Copies of this chain bind each other. A is one copy, B any other.
Amino acid sequence: MVSDILRFVKNLLLSLVASLILITQGGVAEAAPPKVGKNRMVIQINEDDSRKWNTVLGNIHNIRDELAREGASITVVAIGPGLGMLTADSLVANRVQDAIADGVRFVACGRSMQAQQVDKDDLIGGVQITSAGYVELMRLQQRGWAYIRP
């Protein structure tokens, strides 16, 4: 009889623990910002201006240099007239390629590509495509990335 009671208590407790863990994890999952590394920055480029592109590429170099020990994730999102930075015939194509090789992520706005009739093949190799640049910028910020508009 005692063992019956103990089995009853044990089962009750097991289901209790299970349901509480569910509650806890559910709540925490909702509350927790997605796990991100410490240093994450998303940079928005809207200008068709190679001087600005060069400045930003210099900035990125400095930021990575500054954070060399800690590491830093940098994403550049090119939208509208800024798309020209990421096409194969861009005046900064070589520097973009170098930055990609260094781990910087460059993303072209798919909507802007459509509007300007730019194909994937027209982009610098390694450039990624997102369906809508501003949506990418929103999602990254909401995952804890800092937003920079140079």
Which residues on A are within 8 Å of B, measured CB to CB? 1-2, 4-6, 8-9, 12-13, 16-17, 20-21, 23-25, 27-33, 38-41, 44, 46, 55, 59, 62-63, 66-67, 80, 111, 131-132, 134-135, 137-139, 141-142, 144, 146-150
Chain B residues, Cβ within 8 Å of A141? 146-147
Shortest Cβ gap from A4 to chain B (Å) = 8
Contact status B24-A20, CB under 8 Å:
yes
Residue of B21, B132, B142 near A63 (CB, 8 A) is B132
**Oligomeric state, in copies:** 3
A46 to B149, CA, bound (A): 10
Chain B residues, Cβ within 8 Å of A139? 146
